[in-house]
Amino acid sequence: MKKKLTHVDARGHARMVDVSEKEMTHRTARARATIRMKKSTRALLFSGKVEKGDALAIAKIAGISAAKRTPDLVPLCHGIALTRVAVEIEAGRKSGEVVVLATAEARDRTGVEMEALTAASVAALTIYDMVKSVDRGVSFEVALEEKRGGKSGAWKR
């Protein structure tokens, strides 16, 4: 059976999904942003001596704030009552790699995948903004790592 897009009606017009009949369940999602930069830029980032300030603390706050604003940033996204958002930033396994892990949780009728992805994305963007004066070549990719809860259950990359 071919799955259909949920945010498009029968005529192909965008719509917000009606979640009023869905069950309230505990939902979690974790997203990862993998950031690539020069080895010297990563050393500067973790030294706490970035000219603009404490880049890691600012990126964590930016990610948490962004998760809370997801419905304002992503069209057709439901506003949900987040119960927890956590953003962790660590050095990656490869030289010059930084990893952002963002976790979102709620007890609601729809998932928190978009909130976790938004948190990871904005934290990565903030790191770029904080270090761009020394490394314009910074790049990153973002992916959902796992989600739990709701009718579809658990999913893991």
Q: Which two tokens stand for residue 88?
A: 């962790």
Q: Which two tokens stand for residue 101?
A: 């892990």
Strand pairing partners for 99?
A: 34, 90
Strand 139-148 to 97-108 pairing? unpaired
Q: Which two tokens stand for residue 19?
A: 């979640």
Of 54, 72, 108, 129, catalytic: 129
Strand pairing partners for 100?
A: 33, 89
**CA–CA distance, 129 with 66 (Å, rounded to integer):** 15
129 is catalytic: yes
**CA–CA distance, 113 with 52 (Å, rounded to integer):** 31
**CA–CA distance, 141 with 114 (Å, rounded to integer):** 15
> What amino acid positions are annotated as catalytic residues?
129
